[in-house]
Structure 1
């Protein structure tokens, strides 16, 4: 019985250490924990987030270790059930392993250790998939100041009846990717098209520049979202 308890302690410590190392490569905590447990148990790894592990050299090596360790652990636990009453079982030797792993976990979580791990492990992903398969965050948002927004043209917008040239200056870091008008997508003539109420502008660029150029439309968008939330809340109350 003590053998199983001790080995489960080893497994839990390995999980915690692997999560710390995964986070040091740049993964968020919830994603790192889910992927570590998925790899260890060989379940649930068929997610889009698995590309974040497979495309990173350090994460991939950690994943290989976790898969092998998980298979080995399953075999050890099963075999231990049949030999748990064996008189020559040396629990004292096995108990050294969780003590060592616990010390390693403490060292990895030290504030001075985290920056060193991040500098060592936070490597760029190996792009083995097409750019259209990546989320917008990975493709467009490379800096904190980058933004990709959909901005509706409300019924009171001063843009109605005008083209986007009246708002965009030549040196502004604002790019109109396309205009959505119902089921129509306007790309080629997006800067020369006279806008209508209900159009949606898909904008990419620097946050402050976008806010400076389309501040009124962004305020109207926030107002429309609040009105929708109030309407849904009213419906939910049976109003």
Structure 2
């Protein structure tokens, strides 16, 4: 039974380590989604795309975080495998002992999964990690969401222009993303060239990494939009949804003005 509990503890520590690394990477300027993907990829030894690795190697703080994460990941994987062997390679254990081990293991993993999905736990854990980072490291703890005043549905995210994407091969002016409530605030070419605040003449190419700002639903709609007839319908729907959102925001603003005058 001790080996089963040890396995649960090791997995718990692994989850904590990857969450710690994710928050640390976010504080270097990466988006939450990108930081989470990179932290999990490095910890498990899966690796990631060359373009992503260049962004890590070229940043001294990110490089330090990833180096520590790689070391801890190797230790964690070896520990998990060793504990699994100790847990299940027991020829003297009876049927009831096996059932008890499996039940505890499943119960422990279910509890960990539930806690990892809890927003309350995530917020509490994030505050604790931020405190530790600020106190014991030289990583500058910055709330980029707060600095940019992101709230509600609005967010900044990275979007890769893949093959056959609706935007590929078009000038930014012709795409008229503003109608969908979206703004392109930066663009990185496949060769590493960065264009800040692209203008209407900027050509969107396959392989470009776009820094987009807007509502989460609109960003998701755009990222999934491929060339073809369905793209026109998808875009029109996104425009209508943006109009509804703008009317809702305008109404809320009017109510705020009335309350202020009162």
**Which TM-score tier does this pair reach, normalised by the shorter chain?**
0.3 to 0.5
Give 1 or 2: higher helix fraction: 2
How does the TM-score come out when normalised to structure 1?
0.43
Higher Rg of the two aligned structures: 1
